[in-house]
């Protein structure tokens, strides 16, 4: 039966099906063109204008004026440096903990299914909700600090979020809480595709546990790690929900990422022209970093 139909396949390609794939893709194509491609193009256009919906009398063409202003804007440079710091710290910590968690969950033990569901669950939690939860933890009247002070440890009235020195790490910890499951899920999926025979062969050859991890597991995970770190870095770069609500970029703009700066310019200040110029720079920087990262990853593979 199968052989018969497979042999009959070429004859079944009717000429009127030539347009079918395009028709099927048309709804997606139209939506993406109108609401994604066109808007990206219009950002380039806006970035050349002074455009503030609340001050229409000031609007007009300024050429590269917005870009020149951006280069003189201290907050732009500061937010750029902080974005790099935020992405590198978050992605590397999430990768290390996610990998460790995936290795543990990949073993067989009692209670595995329920533990897996529980440790993965923060993945589904939104940035705003993460803020709500961690605000209750960090707040001086509702948080752990107050209960520790009650027990005689530390002092009352301190919030990790309002001290410039600790705000960064407080935000890092909250983002880590919901970010680690992403890596754990992707790496666990890849771990499960490693054949057990490889480990048994290595064991016969006398390879220890660490050696097996280093020579079998890690090389196998290589592509998954490259892909997941890249996706996550882009995501951590772009996503502003958590920082917008948790610190709002503060204290004193010390936790302001570039996309957060864009969002504040767009949502709060309605400075669409300048915001568009910032957006363009964010997009270009992200694209250059991503391509460089992929190129380095590939170069690393070829030298092996």
Partner 1 sequence: MTRARQVPRWAIYLPLGVYLLFTLVPFYWILLFAFRKTGSTALVPWPLTFEHFDTVWNGAGFGVFFKNSVVIAVLTVILTTVIALAGGYALARFSFKGKGAIMVLMLCTQFVPGAMMLIPLFDIFRATQLINTLWSIVVADAVFHLPLSIILMAGFIKNIPVELEEASWVDGCGRFRGFRMTVLPLLRPGVVAISSFAFISSWNNFLFALMFLNSQDQFTIPVGLSYMLGEYSVDFGALAAGGVVAVVPVVLVFAYVQRFLVQGLSAGAVKG
Interacting positions 165-204 with partner 1 (CB under 8 A): 177, 185-186, 188-190, 192-193, 196, 199-200, 203
Is residue 286 involved in binding partner 1 (CB under 8 A)?
yes
Is residue 2 involved in binding partner 1 (CB under 8 A)?
yes
Contacting range for partner 1; rule: CB under 8 A; set: 54-62, 213-221, 275-283, 292-300: 275-283
Number of residues that bind partner 1 (CB under 8 A): 101
b or e along 198-233 (b: 16 or more beta carbons within 10 Å of the residue's beta carbon)?
ebeeeeeeebeeeebeeebbeebbeebbbebbbebb
Question: Which of the residues 121 through 140 are near partner 1 (CB under 8 A)?
Answer: 121-129, 131-137, 139
The minimum distance between CB 21 and partner 1, in angstroms, equals: 4
Question: Which of the residues 48 through 87 are near partner 1 (CB under 8 A)?
Answer: none
Nearer to partner 1, 46 or 168 (CB): 46
The minimum distance between CB 199 and partner 1, in angstroms, equals: 7
Is residue 207 involved in binding partner 1 (CB under 8 A)?
no
Is residue 120 involved in binding partner 1 (CB under 8 A)?
yes
Contacting range for partner 1; rule: CB under 8 A; set: 29-37, 62-70, 73-81, 85-93: 29-37
The minimum distance between CB 170 and partner 1, in angstroms, equals: 13
Question: Which of the residues 216 through 235 are near partner 1 (CB under 8 A)?
Answer: 227, 231, 234
């Amino acid at each position: 039966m199968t052989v018969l139909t497979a042999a009959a396949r070429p004859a079944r390609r009717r000429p009127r099906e030539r347009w079918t794939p395009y028709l099927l893709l048309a709804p997606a194509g139209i939506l993406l063109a109108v609401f994604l491609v066109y808007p990206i193009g219009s950002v380039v256009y806006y970035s050349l204008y002074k455009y503030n919906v609340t001050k229409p009398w000031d609007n007009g063409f300024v050429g590269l004026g917005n870009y020149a202003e951006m280069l003189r804007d201290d907050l732009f440079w500061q937010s750029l440096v902080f974005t790099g710091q935020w992405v590198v710290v978050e992605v590397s910590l999430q990768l290390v903990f996610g990998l460790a968690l995936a290795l543990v969950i990949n073993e067989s033990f009692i209670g595995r299914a329920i533990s897996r569901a529980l440790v993965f669950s923060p993945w589904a939690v939104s940035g705003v909700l993460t803020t709500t939860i961690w605000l209750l933890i960090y707040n001086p009247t509702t948080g752990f600090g107050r209960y520790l002070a009650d027990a005689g440890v530390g002092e009352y009235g301190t919030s990790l979020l309002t001290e410039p020195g600790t705000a960064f790490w407080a935000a890092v910890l909250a983002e880590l809480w919901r970010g680690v499951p992403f890596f754990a899920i992707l790496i666990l999926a890849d771990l499960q595709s490693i054949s057990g025979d490889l480990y048994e062969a290595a064991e016969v050859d006398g390879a220890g546990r660490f050696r097996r991890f280093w020579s079998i597991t890690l090389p196998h995970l290589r592509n998954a790690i490259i892909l997941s770190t890249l996706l996550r870095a882009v995501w951590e770069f772009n996503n502003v929900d958590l920082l917008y609500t948790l610190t709002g970029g503060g204290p004193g703009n010390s936790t302001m990422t570039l996309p957060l700066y864009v969002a504040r310019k767009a949502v709060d200040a309605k400075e669409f022209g300048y915001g568009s110029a910032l957006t363009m720079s964010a997009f270009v920087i992200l694209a250059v970093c991503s391509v460089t990262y992929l190129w380095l990853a590939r170069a690393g593979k070829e030298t092996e």
